[in-house]
Each structure stands twice: as C-alpha cells, then as structure tokens.
Structure 1
Amino acid sequence: MTNETIQTTPVTKYHAALTLVETVESHYTHFIPTTRHLSGQRQATQPHAQAIEAIIDTAFWTSLRREEGLAPRISLAFLSPEQAMQPLLFGQRLELTTKNLTKIAPGVERPGIHLGVWYEEGELYVWGTTRQLPYSCFVVDVTEPGVLVIKHKRGEGPVKFKNMAVLIGEKVKVIDESSAHLPDCPTLVTSLLGLEPSSSWNDPINALVQVAISIRAHRHGGALLIVPSGTDAWHESIVHPILHLIEPPFYGLSELMKQDLSTKVKRQWQEALQEAVDTVACLTAVDGATIIDDEYELIAFGAKISRPVGKGPVEQIVVTEPVMGSKASVVHPTQNGGTRHLSAAQFVHDQQDAIALVASQDGRFTAFAWSPCEEMVQAHRIDTLLM
C-alpha cells in the first residue's frame, strides 16, 4: 500500500484506534517475513497505518449505533475485490462511514461474512462481501457494543484467525505471544496463540480449541473436565451416582479425531467434527460439569464436583492472562470467579493430571491446569483468544 493520505471524517476520534496502529504495524512487520515460505497461499496486502486507524475508528463508533433496535455485528476485512475469491460486489461502492455500516449490518451479520474494505485516491470504501480471505488479511470484528477484535487470517484450519488485540471501550488488550513460552503454558493456550506450524491444525489439541470456542459461543456458561483415559482416580472428585452418565461413552468426537490426515482435510469430515464438537459443548450448558477423557470420549454431563475425603480445600491459585502488561497474581480461588471457577480449581487441585475449562455467561473463559513450577493450580484467562 502506498503512503498516500487516507481521508476520514469521524465525528470524534476513538483514542484506542490510534494507540493500536503501531502494535498492528509491528505485528505485520514481524509476521509477514515468517510466512513467505507459504508460496501456495494468497497473501493479503499489509495495512497502512492510516487504514488501520480509520477502520478501527469507524468500526467502534458503528458498534455503538442501532439499526431497528439491534446493535451491529459485522466483520471488516482489508482487501481489494481482486484479492477475494468469489466476491459479492455492490453495484455502487459505499463510503466507509458509521451510517453506511449500520444500515448494511443486518444483511451481513452471519458468521463468515466479511465486508471488503479498500481504498482509491486516498479514500476508503466498502466494495462488497466475501467469505474467503487471503492469508494474513487484516480483519476487525464488531462483536458487541464497544467491543472489537483485531485479528488476521492465518489459514484454513479449525481456528482460521489469530487475534492481535481486543478493544473493550477504551481498554486495549494486546495479545502477548511470549506468554506461550512460559514453562507451564498448556498446549491449549499455545495453540490458540497460533505459534505452531500450520500443519499442526490437524493435531488433536485443536478439537479442544474448537470445543472451547463452542462453549463460549452458547453464552450459558459451563464447565468441561478433561480427565486422563484408562484411570478412575477422578471419580473421587465427583458426586455419585452421576445423574447424567453416558453409557456407553459417546465416541463420535473420538472416532473422528482418530482418522488419518487425508480424511481430515475433507469438508465432510470438518462438518462432522463441528457437529460432534457442538454436541459436547452444548451439554456444558446444563448445571454441573461435562466430562470427557483425553481421547475425547464423552463420559457424563451435569456432574457435581466434590472434595475427596481427607483432601483440604484449595487455598490459592495463580492467575495469568496472555495480554501485554498483565502479571501473574496469586489469589484465593473465590477472587477469580463464582461457583464454577471455585469447583474447577478444586477439581484440578485434587486431580493434577486433569484440565478444567470454565465459561461464564459474561464471556469470561478460564483454563485450569496444575503448574508443576508453581506447585499450585494455574488459572489461564483466555477469553481474549476465543473471541
């Protein structure tokens, strides 16, 4: 993109948009050279500073408007019509304004639809929509009033985007990729940060990533316990009888994950995987915890967590978040959330080879795992990675 000046006419500047320009530019400066080996991938144009600021600014003010009483939920992607595959082109381009975005929002709010934004003679405009984006394409999602997710396209795997930052009003949360290099960082978090080679999107851990995303999406809150297969030790931490025991266990997700790589790249397999993922995730909305083993066999749902006889209550946990500027803090479990969070922390405290995922109705999402380095339960706040 050239250094020509892009004209924008926002009523009031959104300060957070300006603060993020350097972050996004720096991200692309370091990211693009590492992806040049992907010669078979269509590469997007790196966004210019003025385009970054203008798109974020306009998206934010659009998020605060209403159309027929509803808040806009749209996705803006920076690419030309020529860079898109099978684009839907508007007969007349739209100026990038809050008014135009609000009016068109009801027709483009479904997941996977992106409004294409490009420039000509220094002016940004919306040219149409597309469902397929080139690699590294800059995207701004309006998820709810005052909340934006800044991301880029990173492939065609189960998790297609890599979050760079989340904006909540004037609060800016920039994703800290270096947190994945901490000795106790779970593979789930590393996977969400997108620091593995692209082939790893076929690894089993990404089924867990998809389950986490699906749990958060149903917005009922929920808890998922992942226990080791081949052992019954975790039974000591569950109230018996288990009301909703699955007999025999549901093998749908497990069988799909065991299929070979040549099958996993097919659309039919991916659709079947999403159905199996949603089957597990939906059950977490039921009061109690859903239980699967590390081979993805569904064991039970609605299970009640209890402290084993002779075990003491969990007294402290270490809380982390993969966000720049955040520091690990040791707190009492009750300071980290409600009943679900406390129960999950107790479960992992007693069953140190297990993992617990907990979603709140407000969108907070925490992964609990035992930290050998800290010798206590570690609570990883990962909602910024799932949006």
Structure 2
Amino acid sequence: MERVSYPQAHSVSHIVAEHFRSHAELAGIDADLPDAATIEKIIDAAFWTSLRHEEGRAPTISLAYLPPTAAGTALLVERPLGLDPTTLTKLAPAVERPGIHLGIWKNGDGLSVWGATRSIPPLCFVLEVIEPGLLVIKHRRADPDGKFANVVVLEGDQVKIVDPQGTLDSKCPDFVATLLGIGDSESVLLPLALSMRAHKHGGSLLVVPHESPWRKSIVSVPYAVAPPFSKLGDLVRNGGEHDETFKNAIDAIAGLTAVDGAVVLSDRWDVLAFGAKIGRSQSGPFVEDVLVREPIRGHTPVKMPASELGGTRHLSAAQFIHEQRDALALVASQDGRFTVFGWSPRAQLVHAYRVEALLL
C-alpha cells in the first residue's frame, strides 16, 4: 500500500530550494544543492519516520544531502539503503548522538542512504528529526563549530519559515542577529541559551554592563556572588571557548538559572548573583506595553500589555529591561519557548523576541 504524502513537504519544498540556491549564489559557494523534488522526498521520509518507534523510542536523526566524496572521513555501507521510514527508523539508534548525520544522495531515479558522517560542508542541506512530527531544516554555517542556521521548522501541519529581515530591521540585539546568522559568531550567549533551554526547568538570565546600577531594579539578592564568579569570563578572555572546561562553565551557569529568580551576568561574563528577585525601582515607571516579535515569515509584530506576555519571569524581565535599558534578558520557559528582551531606542519600547524556532 502506497504511503500517504506529508502535504507540508510539497508546500515548502520550492521555498527551501530557493533559499539554498540564493544563499549559495550570494556566498559564491559551489554547493551540492537539492532541488525541490528532492527536498520534498527527504521531508516526507523524515516526517513519517518521526512518527514511528524503535524499541519504544521515537527516532531522532539528522539527514544530510551530500555525496560521499564531500563528507571527508565517513562510514560507508557496502550497498546503498533505501530512503524510507522503515530503514531510517532502524538506523536511528546508531546516529542519534549530536553531530552525526546520515548521508543522503542520488541513486538512479531516487535517493538512498550511503552511510554516516560528522563532516559536512558549509550550506549543506540538513534535516533534523527532533521529536514526533517536529522537523527542522538547517544548514552549516562557515564556522564548523557553530550552531547550524535554521531555515524552516515543520511541526505537524504548521510551517515556520525563518525570515530574518523584519527582525533585523527592528535593530534587534546582537545576540538575536547572531541566531539569524548575521554578524560575528556569539561564543557565550548561544551555548548559554541552549543549556538553559535543555534543563527544562525554565529560567532567567540578565546580562548587564559591568558597571551598571542593576541592583536598583532588584528587590532582593538571596544569593549574591562575592567575589564575582569569573571562570567563564577568564576562559573567554584567554581564548578558551572550545575546550571542555568552557562547556562545563556554561552548564554550571545555565544550571543556576533553574533556581527561582534570575542569574545576573556581567558583559564580561562574570556571575554577579543568582536567585535575584526583580522589581520596580522606587523612581522607575511600571512597564506597560511590550512589542513581541518572532523571526518567522508572515509574522506581524504585536504590541501587548506586559502582563499578558506569560508568567512572572516574562513580566519581570520586561520590567528589568524597561529600567535597565543597556541590559539584555533571556527567559527560558519549561515548555521550550525562549524569549530575548531588549530595549528599542527607536521605538522607545521593550521588544520581546521569541526565538525558540532558532534554537532547535
């Protein structure tokens, strides 16, 4: 019996193909790019794979479209395997660790799995199965150690196409621009955000200028850090962003965000406090409205009362940025949502950027 096609695979395939074509042309890269029909086949196979189970577990896999000759030192199977849900589900346990991709390439009139690799070139088409019904199309950036750039998020019948232009036009914080693949690679906030999101407790992180009067907007600091914890800052200052100690420092600080209250981190990456309770200063005004943005095609920014943003963390973060306008606030929700708060001098308003689609 022929499998029913996943409708969103067809609807988004031409948009994705054009994205990769235009980016390759802009970057001057001679990349092995899939056409729309190929993209549709890969999405369809991945979607139906995501709904299956192997030994009681849903598959989490990454598929990369490239020939074996472009994959460096790779594991090659003797005979190509079919690109179908049965095969992909059986292979999933072997490649579920981060950084391992199943290689997909042309085989006659169809597509097949030729093996697995950790090495893929810039702008290589990658589709990652995150959980049942949730797929992310992405590509590797120029930095081989950096996070991949997300292109499209498909979740059931929902399609979110990443569209950076409107967000960039809003003069967004540098960190948000980094998530969109613009500007210098951010070596600290990105892994912190990923680690905050990974612990699933929810949390808040305030990044403040090292000499700012941030305490004016804090009601209490049950866990002040004295002297400031400088392990992460020392590693950054000494160029140690790529060793295991850096990851441990990131995870340690992200873990502090799970404590009720906020972590206060200086822009020199030193921990100043955690568990900090945010409140309005005596002379400061209440935050009333916030402009909510999402870097997704078709999204219209919405101005809403700060009280309707979500829970206490979101309202507190908005209040803090309303007073501490040189600061940045990152808020992770238990349900996976992630919001970056920053002040917009042009709009004279707190902007809330919902960026979870960029962190998958």
Q: TM-score range by the shorter chain?
A: over 0.9
Alpha-carbon offset, residue 321 of structure 1: 0.6
Equivalent position to 1:346, from 311, 314, 319? 319
TM, length-normalised to structure 1: 0.88
Alpha-carbon offset, residue 179 of structure 1: 2.5
Distance in structure 2 (CA, Å) of the matches to 1:308 and 1:67? 55
Distance in structure 1 (CA, Å) of the matches to 2:248 and 2:19? 34
Residue number in structure 1 paired with 2:223: 244
Distance in structure 2 (CA, Å) of the matches to 1:10 and 1:49? 21
Letter in 2 for 1:275: N
Identity %: 46
TM, length-normalised to structure 2: 0.95
Residue number in structure 2 paired with 1:5: none
Residue number in structure 2 paired with 1:219: 200
> 1:53-72 alignment to 2 at 5 Å?
53-72=40-59
Residue number in structure 2 paired with 1:121: 108
Equivalent position to 1:291, from 255, 264, 286? 264
Of 173-182 and 114-123, more deviation after overlay is shown by 173-182
> 1:364-375 alignment to 2 at 5 Å?
364-375=337-348
> 1:261-276 alignment to 2 at 5 Å?
269-276=242-249
Alpha-carbon offset, residue 193 of structure 1: 0.8
Distance in structure 1 (CA, Å) of the matches to 2:179 and 2:145? 11
Of 309-318 and 67-76, more deviation after overlay is shown by 309-318
Alpha-carbon offset, residue 91 of structure 1: 3.2
Contact 1:226 1:355 in 2 (8 A): yes
Residue number in structure 1 paired with 2:187: 206
Q: Name the count of aligned residue pairs.
A: 360
Distance in structure 1 (CA, Å) of the matches to 2:134 and 2:123? 22
Residues 336 and 237 of structure 1: CA distance in aligned 2, closer, same or farther (over 3 Å): same
Equivalent position to 1:235, from 186, 208, 215? 215
Alpha-carbon offset, residue 364 of structure 1: 0.5
Alpha-carbon offset, residue 183 of structure 1: 4.1
Letter in 2 for 1:219: K
Distance in structure 1 (CA, Å) of the matches to 2:193 and 2:157? 27
Contact 2:167 2:293 in 1 (8 A): no
> 1:152-163 alignment to 2 at 5 Å?
152-163=139-150
Letter in 2 for 1:214: S
Residue number in structure 2 paired with 1:255: 234
Structure 1: gaps of 5 or more residues? 1-8
> 1:151-190 alignment to 2 at 5 Å?
151-190=138-177
Residue number in structure 1 paired with 2:76: 89
After TM superposition, the runs of 4+ consecutive aligned structure 1 residues lying more than 3 A away are 269-272
Of 154-163 and 349-358, more deviation after overlay is shown by 154-163
Of 375-384 and 327-336, more deviation after overlay is shown by 327-336
1:286-311 CA-to-partner distances (Å, cap 9, x unmatched) read: 22111101111111222211221243
Alignment of 1:195 onto 2:207: no
- The DSSP-based 3-state class of the residue aligned with 2:219 is coil
Equivalent position to 2:11, from 19, 32, 41? 19
Contact 2:217 2:279 in 1 (8 A): yes
Residues 301 and 157 of structure 1: CA distance in aligned 2, closer, same or farther (over 3 Å): farther
1:339-387 CA-to-partner distances (Å, cap 9, x unmatched) read: 1111111111121111100011111100001111221111001111111
Residue number in structure 2 paired with 1:6: none
Letter in 1 for 2:160: K
Contact 1:179 1:185 in 2 (8 A): no
- The DSSP-based 3-state class of the residue aligned with 2:52 is coil
Alpha-carbon offset, residue 67 of structure 1: 1.4
Structure 2: gaps of 5 or more residues? none
- The DSSP-based 3-state class of the residue aligned with 2:281 is coil
Distance in structure 2 (CA, Å) of the matches to 1:195 and 1:154? 10
Aligned-residue RMSD, C-alpha: 1.8
Distance in structure 1 (CA, Å) of the matches to 2:144 and 2:256? 24
Of 54-63 and 181-190, more deviation after overlay is shown by 181-190
Distance in structure 2 (CA, Å) of the matches to 1:300 and 1:330? 31
